[in-house]
Amino acid sequence: EVQLVESGGGLVQPGGSLRLSCAASGFTFSGYEMDWVRQAPGKGPEWIAYMRSGGSTIYYADSVKGRFTISRDDAKNSLYLQMNSLRAEDTAVYYCTREGYGGNSDAFDLWGQGTLVTVSS
């Protein structure tokens, strides 16, 4: 089955760190551009990070630049998001997404179920 499964969310205090993982299966993970998208309670989705296949190109949203790091391990079919210096406004469901159409499509065709990150004291 083609799927993405996130893990690693939870409750963390402001200033703390978390590492999210995304396990991909059912497709050739190494060939796809991957992104993290988050959705705060009652809000729309917010793109936060992108990594090209092979890892040669990375982009971040300004809201997380310098605090979050996206990475991938193609041998383990996994995508990661290291989140440091967490703030209350980082509270959201975090989704791992695949850009399934290549080129400049920038379309997220596959989403995980999401993992909830709550930043609170």
Q: Which residues bind other proteins (CB under 8 A)?
A: 35, 37, 39, 44-47, 50, 59, 61-62, 95, 100-101, 104-109, 111-114
Closer CB to other proteins, 8 or 45, in the complex: 45
Contact 113, 22 (CB under 8 A): no
Contact 95, 112 (CB under 8 A): yes
Structure token digits, residue 52:
């090209």
What secondary structure letter does DSSP report for 90?
G
Closer CB to other proteins, 16 or 55, in the complex: 55
SS3 call for 38: strand
Closer CB to other proteins, 27 or 47, in the complex: 47
**CB of 43: closest distance to other proteins in angstroms?**
9
